[in-house]
Chains A and B, each alone.
Chain A
Amino acid sequence: MAADVTPMKTSAEQALSAAYAAARKTLPGKGAIATLREQAFERFEARGLPHRRVEEWKYTDLRALMRDMAPLASAPDAAAKAKAKDAGKLIAGVETRRIVFVDGVFAPELSDLTPEPGLTIGSLAERLTKGNAPALGTAFATDDVAVALNTALMGDGAVIDVAAHARIKKPIHLVFAGSTPTSSFVRSLITIGEGAEVTLIEDHDSGEAQVNAALELIVGDHARVDYFKLTQAQGLHVASLLARIGADARFNTFAYTAGSPLVRNQSFIRFDGERTHGGIRGVNLLRGKDHVDTTLLIMHAKGHCESREQFKTVLDGESHGVFQGKIVVAQHAQKTDAKMMTRSLLLSEQAEADNKPELEIFADDVVCGHGATAGALDPGLKFYLMSRGISDAEAEALLIQAFIGETVEEIAHEGIREALMNAAIAWLRARAA
């Protein structure tokens, strides 16, 4: 019974292979880039889509969940571009520099490309065609299959360079708009120079599209970076953050996911220099049959860094929330201070939360901890609020708001903080209605 059998390919796996075979000649980039694609594709071919026996994907069985692959997106037409103007409105009140992608393709005419000293913005497709993307694939080494598929099939994405000591005024808002039920493989490459300061927003408002997104982020020493990942996706959405952070940096991430049936957000973050502070946070709002998976791999490769991981998930209906957080402290990363907390609030008997925090510590002088809770609203709290005249629905909303507020409050950017809190409140109202 222990024989190692190769399972039959699912129709999605066959479609992915066929899509690659058909597109490999026309995908941007030759030479080294074509080789990179080929190697990545071989990794996928050898292992297939990740399934429940792959530890990192245990709770999100992509092989079972991905029934089919939508056809690769073609270049968007005028109608698709017109529609994209309304995408990314979750933070509509915040003044940002919008860089828009439609069905995975850069739309310069919809993007704010006003020159700013120290800031270079370009398209990955163009860079690949010119063979000019030396940092590609270097942010974080992983053999994850979703990342491999992205590398094999990457079409376009943002390439952003922030020069050393530049202070970018407005948040850079990457809007990934989807107009059709097609597949796109977007890959972005962002390098932040030493001592630079920038706020980045990766905003997926992708409609019915199937999206496999990967964003490589290389942060220099002394830099300050706030990175947001916003997800509203009706189609299958798999996103990977691949980040490498230098010394003495401040690095905060915040993920907000709501109204999305099937999401896997995976973050691979390597603290690669000493004395860096990291805050890795997020809020997920689930209802119906939504399935949202947050998976973190936090590598403390150097000592004297501090990281705080905090995730809150609200689950209604028959939704399923997954949190897997792994903190690895390398042997020489002494004085690491890492604390991870995940809390799930279950609003229905049918909702399910799986929390799996893990620590792997090879150093002996560290302070690390993790915690995970899952539970319903406290009926005593609810009665207290109702006994003051607050309605059932409003009492619940207030308590849920308080639950996620603790995490949202950590966002330094006032406009984004308020916009996300308001978005969450709107979600709660819609739920109660």
Chain B
Amino acid sequence: MSLLEIKNLHVEIESEGKKILNGLSLTIEKGQVAAIMGPNGSGKSTLAYVLAGKPGYEVTEGDVLLDGESVLDMGADERAAKGVFLAFQYPVEVPGVATMTFLRTALNAQRKLRGEGELSTPEFMKLVREQSAALGISQEHLRRAVNVGFSGGEKKRNEILQMAMLQPRLAVLDETDSGLDIDALKIVADGVNRLRSPERGMVVITHYQRLLNYIVPDVVHVMAKGRVVKSGGKELALELEAKGYAQYVEAA
């Protein structure tokens, strides 16, 4: 069974009735890293939000199956507990909630939804120390409110830390490279690569080929006008870099 199966997905923005996804179909296998590329407005971020369960989008047709089970009626929290993780393009600041508290609350909430016991304080502390050290995140950062006063790079690293702590089955990275300088990009990419595993699938959404030099995908899908218009190997990304998206946008 495929890890993720998106079948003929049609999605509108609820308040505007504006159609964003137009019959998108896509399959992600266990252990696969898939890149999704495409021009602005092709629906990449909408796809990420719909997978994570953000309110405000209406699925008018089609289905999304995780391990063969439809997730469309599940809330964002349930999907997270089933193993869906979205690394946000613009991680939000949560004033007043310490990063440490947030990580612990999230981890235990997921464990609870899965019927697992809470982690003990020493177990949790050990885990958070290991994972934050690997990403170069200081203990002082963990005491601060989530993302408040963090630089763009720190926010993205914080996303990867959350992913490493939560160990999702399906990680969706939405333009994780945006706003990063090359050093930050390497740290983030290393963090992602460490999480590659035969059981885990990843969807790497990006506008540029640059990120894919560091996170080498198994497969590349090109999106235009709300559907996948071309799929291929990693060399497809290089072709896009050289020739641009125009031919696909026109074809769509």
Chain A interface residues toward B at CB < 8 A: 378-381, 383-392, 394-395, 398-399, 401-403, 405-406
Residue of A381, A387, A390, A405 with most chain B CB atoms under a 10 A cut-off: A387
Q: Given A381-B92, A398-B97, A402-B97, are A387 and B109 also a contact pair (CB < 8 Å)?
A: no
CB atoms of A388 and B97 under 8 A apart: no
CB atoms of A394 and B105 under 8 A apart: yes
B216: Cβ under 8 A from any A Cβ = no
Q: Given A388-B166, A394-B105, are A401 and B76 also a contact pair (CB < 8 Å)?
A: no
CB distance from A52 to the nearest CB of B (A): 36
Bound-state CA distance A403–B96 (Å) is 7
CB distance from A417 to the nearest CB of B (A): 15
B219: Cβ under 8 A from any A Cβ = no
B68: Cβ under 8 A from any A Cβ = no
User: Smallest CB-CB separation from A379: which chain B residue?
Assistant: B55
Bound-state CA distance A4–B94 (Å) is 54
- Which residues of A lie under 8 Å from residue B107 when comparing CB positions? 389
CB atoms of B96 and A389 under 8 A apart: no
B88: Cβ under 8 A from any A Cβ = yes
Bound-state CA distance A391–B109 (Å) is 7
Chain B interface residues toward A at CB < 8 A: 52-55, 75-77, 79-81, 85-86, 88, 91-92, 94-97, 102, 105-107, 109-110, 113, 145, 162, 166
What 7 A-B pairs come out closest when comparing CB atoms? Answer: A402-B96, A389-B110, A389-B80, A388-B106, A386-B76, A389-B109, A386-B77
7 contacts between A and B (CB under 8 A): A384-B92, A384-B94, A387-B52, A391-B75, A403-B96, A406-B95, A406-B96
CB atoms of A381 and B94 under 8 A apart: yes
User: Smallest CB-CB separation from B105: which chain A residue?
Assistant: A390
- Which residues of B lie under 8 Å from residue A379 when comparing CB positions? 55
CB atoms of B94 and A387 under 8 A apart: no
Bound-state CA distance A405–B94 (Å) is 13
- Which residues of B lie under 8 Å from residue A406 when comparing CB positions? 95-96
Q: A386-B76, A388-B110 are in contact. List 13 more A-B contacts (CB 8 A).
A: A385-B94, A386-B80, A387-B85, A387-B86, A388-B102, A389-B81, A389-B166, A390-B109, A391-B77, A392-B77, A394-B109, A402-B96, A405-B96
- Which residues of B lie under 8 Å from residue A380 when comparing CB positions? 92
CB atoms of B92 and A399 under 8 A apart: no
Bound-state CA distance A378–B146 (Å) is 15
Q: Given A379-B55, A380-B92, A391-B109, are A386 and B75 also a contact pair (CB < 8 Å)?
A: yes
- Which residues of B lie under 8 Å from residue A391 when comparing CB positions? 75, 77, 109, 113
Bound-state CA distance A383–B32 (Å) is 27
- Which residues of A lie under 8 Å from residue B52 when comparing CB positions? 387
CB atoms of A389 and B113 under 8 A apart: yes
Bound-state CA distance A391–B88 (Å) is 19
Residue from B55, B77, B88, B97 within 8 A of A389 (CB atoms) = B77
Bound-state CA distance A415–B145 (Å) is 23
Bound-state CA distance A379–B86 (Å) is 16
CB distance from A124 to the nearest CB of B (A): 41
- Which residues of B lie under 8 Å from residue A394 when comparing CB positions? 105, 109
Bound-state CA distance A333–B88 (Å) is 51
Bound-state CA distance A383–B79 (Å) is 12
Bound-state CA distance A384–B85 (Å) is 11
Bound-state CA distance A403–B95 (Å) is 8
CB distance from A236 to the nearest CB of B (A): 33
Residue from A378, A388, A401, A405 within 8 A of B80 (CB atoms) = A388
User: Smallest CB-CB separation from A402: which chain B residue?
Assistant: B96
CB atoms of B109 and A399 under 8 A apart: no
User: Smallest CB-CB separation from A409: which chain B residue?
Assistant: B96
CB distance from B157 to the nearest CB of A (A): 16
User: Smallest CB-CB separation from B107: which chain A residue?
Assistant: A389
User: Smallest CB-CB separation from B98: which chain A residue?
Assistant: A402
CB distance from A398 to the nearest CB of B (A): 6
CB atoms of B96 and A401 under 8 A apart: yes
- Which residues of B lie under 8 Å from residue A385 when comparing CB positions? 94, 102, 106
Bound-state CA distance A398–B94 (Å) is 10
CB atoms of A388 and B113 under 8 A apart: no
Q: Given A379-B55, A394-B109, A398-B105, are A387 and B95 also a contact pair (CB < 8 Å)?
A: no
- Which residues of A lie under 8 Å from residue B92 when comparing CB positions? 378, 380-381, 384
- Which residues of B lie under 8 Å from residue A381 when comparing CB positions? 92, 94
Q: Given A388-B162, A389-B106, A390-B109, are A399 and B75 also a contact pair (CB < 8 Å)?
A: no
- Which residues of B lie under 8 Å from residue A402 when comparing CB positions? 94-97, 145
- Which residues of B lie under 8 Å from residue A403 when comparing CB positions? 96
- Which residues of A lie under 8 Å from residue B55 when comparing CB positions? 379, 383
- Which residues of B lie under 8 Å from residue A395 when comparing CB positions? 77
User: Smallest CB-CB separation from A398: which chain B residue?
Assistant: B97
User: Smallest CB-CB separation from A400: which chain B residue?
Assistant: B96
CB distance from B75 to the nearest CB of A (A): 7
CB atoms of B96 and A387 under 8 A apart: no
Q: Given A384-B88, A390-B109, A391-B109, are A399 and B81 also a contact pair (CB < 8 Å)?
A: no
Bound-state CA distance A399–B145 (Å) is 12
CB distance from A376 to the nearest CB of B (A): 14
CB distance from A397 to the nearest CB of B (A): 10
User: Smallest CB-CB separation from A380: which chain B residue?
Assistant: B92
Bound-state CA distance A384–B93 (Å) is 9
Residue from B97, B106, B110 within 8 A of A399 (CB atoms) = B97
Bound-state CA distance A391–B96 (Å) is 18
